[in-house]
Chains A and B, each alone.
Chain A
Amino acid sequence: VFYISTTVVFVSDQDKAKDFYVNKLGFELVSDAQTMPGYRWLQVTPPGAQTGVVLSLPMEGHEAGKSSGLLLYTDDIQALHQQWAANGVEFSEAPTQYPWGWQAQLADPDGNGIVLTQPRHKAKKGESDD
């Protein structure tokens, strides 16, 4: 067994990031601890998912707000868009249809980009995605 357990998003303020990912996006808080002196290990994950995100202050060679490439999968992008918009999340792209399915885009408080997708072949059963 071999899988990706966590990825990192660099943030400038861990408290603000925690509020955004937990309270607005609904991620689960897995760890918030000073595991190593001077380092706060703040880890969140989509509930039940295999791979989570460590919200870290920038490490050497990295800057806050430059992390990109986090792609989240949902089976109901319209519902999630409504729910997150109601939580105050600003979308830079509303749910839009592409050849591969639906996509929406948002950013966290530091400007780290997040893409939300509902792939075409994973549309809910009995529901047209056209």
Chain B
Amino acid sequence: MIKYISITTVYVNDLDKAKDFYANSLGFEVVTDDAQSMPGFRWLQVVPKGAQTGINLYPADNPDQLGHFSGLFLTTDDMATTYSELVANGVNFSQPPTERPYGIEAKFVDQDNTSFVLLQPPTRS
């Protein structure tokens, strides 16, 4: 049977800059950086530490692929801490943590202005 989604894709302009942002600013783990296996293709894959699903950072073949909502929702169980860490790392937030019916939501952009939602879901007790 199908187990889980292992990878999703985010298009980027420059793989080295993207690697720096996702690894050093967001703190993702670089699980693959392989320019050898497939001629002409560098496979760069990052994943939130310990998470099931990661991201392939893929060179954009046209600028229209950059600067939109990535479609990715990142979940944290501690918005205040995650937000301060990311801000300290120089991550640019387009929306600070804000109370919503579905939790506490913030929005940030990557090095190519592609946006992400960071969410702390409501506590279920």
Contact = CB atoms under 8 A, between A and B. Distances in A.
A61 B64 contact: yes
Contact of B4 (A26, A51, A68): A51
B53 A100 contact: no
Contacts of A9: 71
- Dominant SS at the B interface? strand
Interface residues of A, number: 44
A26 to B, nearest CB: 7
Contacts, number: 129
B111 interface: no
Counting chain B residues whose Cβ lies within 8 A of the other chain, the interface size class is 35 or more
B5 A51 contact: yes
B116 to A, nearest CB: 9
B5 A53 contact: yes
Contact of A74 (B2, B55, B74, B101): B2
A53 to B, nearest CB: 7
B74 A4 contact: yes
B9 interface: yes
Contact of B1 (A1, A60, A76): A76
Q: Which 5 A-B pairs have the closest CB atoms?
A: A69-B9, A8-B71, A49-B4, A51-B53, A3-B51
27 contacts: A1-B76, A2-B27, A4-B54, A4-B74, A5-B74, A6-B71, A7-B8, A7-B53, A8-B71, A26-B1, A27-B2, A46-B3, A47-B1, A50-B4, A50-B53, A51-B52, A56-B71, A60-B68, A61-B64, A62-B69, A67-B71, A74-B1, A74-B2, A76-B1, A79-B1, A80-B2, A99-B37
